[in-house]
């Protein structure tokens, strides 16, 4: 894999994805060493992404420096993102950035020489989530001849945009299920079309459910709605529970990037279909593999096994 920065899933070829996933799969048996420092810059809330990047860098033998919350950093004093990343670049060998503005990671990457990883830019992209999603799909359903349903907030969900882009590498059949108001943005649909993706859109899960290998459920991104009333109109509409899944194939894989609010009833958790906690745990080997590869390219922090 030869990328300086990871900003969008569109950058990833099938080969790139397989390189990361293969390395992730081998990590438990053959852990590489990277004594590098990773800078964590999270301008939006995060549990999984931030903690798993932190754990990953430490498990590689490196360490992390963390900007902390916006409230306690110099952002509060009016520092620009460009200045913040230029400063923190001097403290770290690679940077992970989450920011509420779409395009922020791309912009920030233009100011730094160390690898910068987009950990979510507004409603834009979240490519490392996609890598762990693909890892989970590969483990549970395989990546060939795949029919995937992606349901919920397709408009603001950045995990959706990245996953859909990446799945074009595998010629997956992609079904998008959402209310009309939360359909995929036109630009995302256009790019999928240009990439030759097989895309269909639905307002109901029912008709398509029996055909699915994977159902990827997402949270309605309340924080991105300009108007709270618009959120209330769609909240709670696309919830799945044991009854919903009665019509699903026995080997359906249910995924969710988490955090969930009420999209998946807790009763589903104990079933064999529920893979969302496993999915979250896969964040560590996958991010270890990615850091190892990016730092290897950058010529930093020790040797790979
Ligand atoms: C997602 C995100 O931040 O986009 N969370 C995550 O990283 N697992 C999904 C979400 O917040 O709904």
Q: Rounded to 5 degrees, what are φ and ψ at 63? A: -145, 175
Instruction: Please tell me the number of Cα atoms within 13 Å of 143 on its side-chain side.
Output: 20
**Ligand 1: centre distance to CA 49 (Å):** 8
pLDDT for residue 304 = 42
Question: Which is the closest atom of ligand 1 to the Cα of 258?
Answer: 8
pLDDT for residue 77 = 87
Kindly state if the Cβ of 258 falls inside 6 Å of ligand 1: yes
SS3 216: strand
Give, for all 305 residues of the chain, the pLDDT tens digit.
667 999 999 999 999 999 999 999 999 888 899 999 999 999 999 999 999 999 999 999 999 999 999 888 888 888 999 999 999 999 999 999 999 999 999 999 999 999 999 999 999 999 999 999 999 999 999 999 999 999 999 999 999 999 999 999 999 999 999 999 999 999 999 999 999 999 999 999 999 999 999 999 999 999 999 999 999 999 988 999 999 999 999 999 999 999 999 999 999 999 999 999 999 999 999 999 999 999 998 886 554 43
pLDDT for residue 305 = 38
pLDDT for residue 170 = 98
Contact assessment for residue 96 and residue 40, using Cβ atoms and an 8 Å cutoff: yes
Sketch out the chain's domains with CATH numbers. 9-124+283-298 (3.40.50.1370), 127-280 (3.40.50.1370)
Nearest Cα residue to atom 11 of ligand 1: 259
Kindly state if the Cβ of 126 falls inside 6 Å of ligand 1: yes
Residue 215 pairs with which residues in a beta bridge?
149, 254
Supply the DSSP symbol for 211. Answer: G
- Catalogue the E-assigned strands of the chain: 37-42, 63-66, 94-99, 116-121, 147-151, 173-177, 198-202, 214-217, 253-255
Kindly state if the Cβ of 256 falls inside 6 Å of ligand 1: no
Question: Which is the closest atom of ligand 1 to the Cα of 159?
Answer: 4
Could you check whether the bond before residue 259 is cis, i.e. omega within 30 degrees of 0? Answer: yes
Kindly state if the Cβ of 129 falls inside 6 Å of ligand 1: yes
Cα–Cα distance, 212 to 172 (Å, whole number): 11
Q: ∠ CA 239-185-276 to the nearest 5 degrees? A: 35
pLDDT for residue 75 = 86
Kindly state if the Cβ of 219 falls inside 6 Å of ligand 1: yes
Task: Report the catalytic residues.
Answer: 48-49, 77, 98, 126
């Amino acid at each position: 894999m030869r990328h300086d920065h990871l900003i969008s899933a569109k950058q990833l070829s099938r080969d790139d994805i397989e390189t990361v996933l293969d390395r992730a799969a081998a990590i438990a048996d053959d852990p590489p060493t990277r004594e590098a420092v990773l800078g964590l810059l999270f301008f939006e809330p995060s549990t999984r992404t931030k903690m798993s990047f932190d754990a990953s860098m430490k498990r590689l033998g490196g360490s992390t420096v963390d900007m902390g919350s916006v409230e306690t950093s110099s952002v509060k004093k009016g520092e620009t993102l460009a200045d913040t990343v230029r400063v923190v670049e001097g403290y770290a060998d690679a940077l992970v950035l989450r920011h509420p503005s779409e395009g922020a990671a791309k912009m920030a990457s233009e100011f730094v020489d160390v690898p910068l990883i987009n950990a979510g830019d507004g409603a834009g992209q979240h490519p490392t989530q996609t890598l762990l999603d693909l890892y989970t799909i590969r483990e549970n359903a395989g990546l060939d001849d795949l029919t995937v349903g992606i349901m919920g907030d397709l408009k603001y969900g950045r995990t959706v945009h990245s996953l859909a882009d990446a799945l074009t590498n595998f010629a997956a059949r992609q079904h998008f299920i959402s209310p009309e108001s939360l359909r995929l943005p036109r630009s995302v649909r256009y790019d999928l079309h240009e990439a030759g993706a097989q895309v269909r859109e639905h307002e109901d899960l029912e008709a398509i459910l029996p055909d699915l290998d994977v159902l990827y459920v997402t949270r309605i991104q309340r924080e991105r709605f300009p108007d709270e009333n618009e959120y209330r109109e769609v909240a709670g509409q696309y919830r799945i529970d044991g009854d919903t899944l009665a019509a699903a194939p026995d080997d359906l894989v249910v995924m969710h990037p988490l955090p969930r609010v009420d999209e998946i009833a807790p009763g589903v958790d104990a079933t064999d279909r529920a893979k969302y906690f496993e999915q979250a745990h896969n964040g560590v080997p996958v991010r270890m593999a990615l850091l190892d590869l990016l730092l290897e390219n950058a010529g930093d922090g020790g040797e790979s096994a």
